[in-house]
Amino acid sequence: MGLREKRIIKAFQNELYPKIEEQIFKAANFDVLISIAWNTLQEDRFSHLYNDTFVKVYFQPLIDGLKAINIDELGGELLRKGLRKIVIENSKNESNPENAISFEEGVLKIDHSPVINADAIESRTKRIITLLEDNLERFSEADENLNDISVDFNKNKNAFSFEEVNGAITITKYNDGQTTIVIPELINNKKVTKLAPYSFQEMNLEKVVLPKTLLSIGKQALDGNKLTHINLPEGLIEVGEDAFYGNELQTLTLPDSLVVIGDGAFSRNTISTLTLSESMIEIPNYCFSNSGITEVKLPLNLKKIGESAFTGNNLAFLSIPESVDSIGPQAFSESNRLEKVSMPIIFKERIENIFFRSEINNISFEYPGTDLVNKREEEQIKEGAKNEQPKVNLSQLHNQSVALTFERQDHFQEVVEDLGWSCDMLEGTVTYGEHVFRMQVLGTYSEKEQSWLWAWANKQSGIPEQFLEASLALKKIGEKYGIEDLTMPKIETENDPGHYFSFVANGVVVSSCYAPLNFKGIKVYVLLTSELVDAKEITEPALICSHFAKVTTRMKFSHKHALFSYLNQKGYKVELSGNNILATKGNDQILGIFDLKNRLLKASNSKIATNV
């Protein structure tokens, strides 16, 4: 999404939407929860139509549909009880109302192109009305039955075994043979907050309505049943290991309140529609394995995907966000329907492990963030290395540091592995386990605002100036050579340039490596210094050659210029020999052979013969 489109959408959001929201609340006759993914509501070349098409596609059909349902007292009551949330987004450019509009688990979702078929207001309105009329009663019956079950429980105190813990009720066992049950909110006038481990295990349950008071579902509490739907209440904090293992769940929405999920919690179901909470930072081992999932949108702040988390599913497309820094073995194994995968470059060499027993040769892999910051730089890098001293621009600075930075990042991963981190901005340190790294702050990237902010320009951060020296050094280089991206305080960009800028910084500032640190949706890029990382430097000629050959497969850059710089950094005397590179250091010699487009064909090492 370009800057112009962002401004148009932002103007609509700030100036027109507040009045539209009031109309939606009035049509529903209550303040229904609305979630709009504004950053997805874009269609290239049609931003000038948004003020008209947004209303036609999303809001007018919604308002008209709600009014139609709310025309009498019965409809209004069902609407208040059964409509939990409205979601508006554009994840697949769908324009057929039958496919674009859905109503599941009380969530009305309009996932429609913002432009295509905009004038078909009536067909979208009819679709909304039909979905609500056919399903509202089903999703509202939980509220109706809660009162009934409370009365019934007073008559049959053997329906549930329970215990009181700290003034709240934990249900320890279900004793009735009914396959459709509503778990009460209150027992003995105390809130039901927990289902104990194994409490409803293998009871042939076909439908369970959970209480809104529920905070925790224990290990295997509901596993081995026949549940096709489950409405996890907002406020639920924990779902234990294998809690819903081996059911028949078809749709699943995880609430934003959910913090703890156990291994295998939703394994072996038949989930076609999975909606994850945007607050999730970890997907545990085996969590959704063998569940038939065809589509999933991973949260933007996700950090870790566990072992076999999505093994044996039916995904066709997969986008792993840049925030992910750990993927367990076989996380997406046996994914034989996969066609396209977008994932961080750091996992490229683990493809065969992550996608074990998948048809890898049939999958198209993309690595966002490895392209240059803008098209101007992309054209510059295509020119390749020149015989003469290259002019100083951003792509040349990147070429000079790319091989050495990859080497340092690999060593950094060896040191920290999967250790958690803590950061002390006032002391200028980042700690991984027992390893303390000295830090320089480079800048931050906001996924929400889609913008990069240099650390020297962030006046509100309160970071001591001695920890801004690296970003200030890059600014001075930008001023000296007229490199705009190094001197602009803030850069509007859809793609996070933090990795690219960190590569550049590693070549011009004394540091050992870099790390992106996530703080509540903001990614902070820091340069780190560590003797542990420095001590792992590659010195053997054969390893230098193999490392550089590996780097050429990981990112797009000028091979000749990068190898020339890398060998210089390793202390070699480097010369251009025709179209090739010849480097010597003592008795060691390295030869780089290139094609006519300056792409590496081979890098080899040898010993220089000496006369005795």
> 217-237: per-residue pLDDT in tens?
999 999 999 998 898 998 899
- Span 28-39, mean pLDDT? 83
Where is 589: in which H helix or E strand? strand 588-594
| Percentage of the chain exceeding pLDDT 70 | 91
Which one is predicted more confidently, 37 or 43? Answer: 37
Give pLDDT, residue 378.
37
Give pLDDT, residue 146.
40
SS3 (DSSP) at 132: helix
**Helix, strand, coil share (%) of the chain residues, nearest 5:** 35, 25, 45
- Residue 51's DSSP bridge partners are none
- Span 526-534, mean pLDDT? 93
Q: How many CB atoms lie within 10 A of CB 137?
A: 14
In angstroms, rounded to a whole number, what is the distance separating the alpha carbons of residues 504 and 498? 10
Which one is predicted more confidently, 218 or 36? Answer: 218
**pLDDT band at 154, cuts 50/70/90?**
very low
- Residue 444's DSSP bridge partners are 453, 524
The mean pLDDT value of the chain amounts to 86
12 Cβ partners below 8 Å, 6+ apart? 50, 51, 54
The domain defined by 157-366 folds into 3.80.10
- Span 527-555, mean pLDDT? 92
Contact 329, 357 (CB under 8 A): no
Of the spans 131-145, 153-167, 211-225, which averages the highest pLDDT? 211-225
Residue of 525, 455, 451 whose CA lies nearest to 494:
451
Give pLDDT, residue 149.
40
Of the spans 34-43, 563-572, 588-597, which averages the highest pLDDT? 563-572
285 Cβ partners below 8 Å, 6+ apart? 263, 264, 306, 307, 308, 309, 328
Q: Is residue 529 scored above 90 in pLDDT?
A: yes
Domain with CATH 3.80.10.10 in the chain: 157-366
Q: Concatenated DSSP letters for 362-406?
A: GPEEE-TT-S-SSHHHHHHHHT---SSPPP--HHHHHHHHHHHHH
**Model pLDDT for residues 47-71, shown as the tens digit of each residue:** 677 888 899 999 999 999 999 998 8
Contact 174, 203 (CB under 8 A): yes
Burial class (CB in 10 A: 0-12, 13-18, 19+), 166: exposed
Q: In b/e form, how buried is each residue of 41-56, taking b as 16+ CB within 10 angstroms? A: bbbeeebeebeebbbb
Residue of 146, 142, 153, 189 whose CA lies nearest to 169:
189
Contact 285, 306 (CB under 8 A): yes
**Model pLDDT for residues 164-198, shown as the tens digit of each residue:** 988 999 999 998 888 888 888 888 889 999 999 99
Which one is predicted more confidently, 201 or 149? Answer: 201
**pLDDT band at 376, cuts 50/70/90?**
very low
**Model pLDDT for residues 329-375, shown as the tens digit of each residue:** 999 999 888 999 999 988 988 998 999 888 888 899 988 755 433 33
